[in-house]
């Protein structure tokens, strides 16, 4: 089992909060494929923290409950490579991603390893340690 941190647009999360997805595009053969190689490394049973950096929001911690599948020409999502996700932990109102990073910056491995950290806020995925995933769970259970 792997642990992941994935960003998602707020509007997409509202339309399909039970999916995580990345855009698909047509490769040279004309076949649609996921734009993100990392995204296709995810698998059923993995854990994923879903957030929006642009909206400074942590939606929650989820478990991937399906194999990857193609969603073609969806009215809101277009064509996307998706996984079904089941919510494991969240806090409302949604907590701040920036505050989380600030509070746990001395404990987080992915913040110390800044490779790709300030990249795109949409469709960004990276594998994180179980320890970092557990810190997200801790943060989501802290009193407001």
Q: DSSP states of 17-49 as a string?
A: TTEEEEEEEE-TTS-EEES-TTGGG--TT-EEE
What is the rounded end-to-end Cα distance, in angstroms, of the chain?
A: 31
| Cβ(23)–Cβ(122) below 8 Å | no
Using a pLDDT cut of 90, give the percent of the chain over it. Answer: 40
CB 111 within 8 A of CB 117: yes
Confidence category of residue 120, pLDDT binned at 50, 70, 90: very low
Contact 20, 9 (CB under 8 A): no
Q: pLDDT band at residue 134, thresholds of 50, 70 and 90?
A: very high
- 81 vs 3 pLDDT, higher one: 3
Element spanning 136, H or E: helix 130-141
Average pLDDT, the chain: 84
Res 58 pLDDT > 90: yes
The confidence score (pLDDT) of residue 90 equals 94
Closest CA to 46 of 61, 29, 28, 24: 61
Q: Return d(Cα 51, Cα 54) in angstroms, integer.
A: 9
pTM of the model: 0.86
Q: In this predicted model, what pLDDT tens digit does every residue of 62-118 receive, in sequence order? A: 999 999 998 888 888 888 889 999 999 999 999 998 888 888 888 888 766 554 444
């Amino acid at each position: 089992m792997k642990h992941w941190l994935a960003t998602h647009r707020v509007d997409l999360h509202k339309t399909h909060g039970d999916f995580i997805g990345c855009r698909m595009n047509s490769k040279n053969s004309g076949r649609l494929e996921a734009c993100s190689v990392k995204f296709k490394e995810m698998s059923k049973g993995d854990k994923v923290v879903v957030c929006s950096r642009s909206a400074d929001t942590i939606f929650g911690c989820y478990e991937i409950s399906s194999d990857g599948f193609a969603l073609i020409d969806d009215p809101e999502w277009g064509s996307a490579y998706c996984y079904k996700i089941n919510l494991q932990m969240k806090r409302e109102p949604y907590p701040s991603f920036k505050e989380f990073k600030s509070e746990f910056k001395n404990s987080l491995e992915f913040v110390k390893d800044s490779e790709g950290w300030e990249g795109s806020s949409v469709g960004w995925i990276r594998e994180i340690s179980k320890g970092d995933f557990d810190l997200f769970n801790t943060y989501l259970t802290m009193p407001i």
